[in-house]
Amino acid sequence: MAAFLTWLTKWQTGVTWVDADHREITGMLNRIVDVNRLALTQDPATAGREVLAVLDALIECTRRHIGAEETFLREVRLPGYDAHRCEHALQLAEFTDLRRALEQDGAPGLNPETLQAFKRWFFNHVIVEDRDYAEYRNDETVAVATAPSPERAD
């Protein structure tokens, strides 16, 4: 069966750590779909726990990415930073609400509409908007773009 999302090089921003994060998010979205598909054949309680575990990992990865991205955007003084930051807060709140609802309802998995909403979020925010700020960074030739943020230092 084909992957839910397949990373394409044309989605690259040219910012190494951003592209690595985006590839990681792509993998997590594929994992959610895979676990969700398996949930149809498992005990609902077991399936629900597995879906929640992968959703937790996606939320944590997204939170980490957003933190690094917001540091980067402040450094490059992106016009519209405050609006972009508000979108981040809204997305994390939506992910958290979804997670809470799944746990409370004891649902074994995500419905197809939710999976498509993840894909729309990925394309609208991660691909379109993040590429826009990378293009802005490239236009401004800001040197900090290739350095990982302090949160990402090993």
Which has the higher per-residue pLDDT, 134 or 51? 51
Each residue's pLDDT tens digit, 64-83: 999 999 998 888 888 889 99
Q: Does domain 16-143 have CATH number 2.150.10.10?
A: no
How sure is the predictor about 139, in pLDDT bands with cuts at 50, 70 and 90?
low
> What Cα–Cα distance (Å) separates residue 139 from each residue in 75, 131, 144, 149?
15, 12, 13, 20
What pTM was computed for the model? 0.81
Contact predicate 56/92, CB 8 Å:
no
| Residue 138 confidence (pLDDT) | 64
N residues, the chain: 154
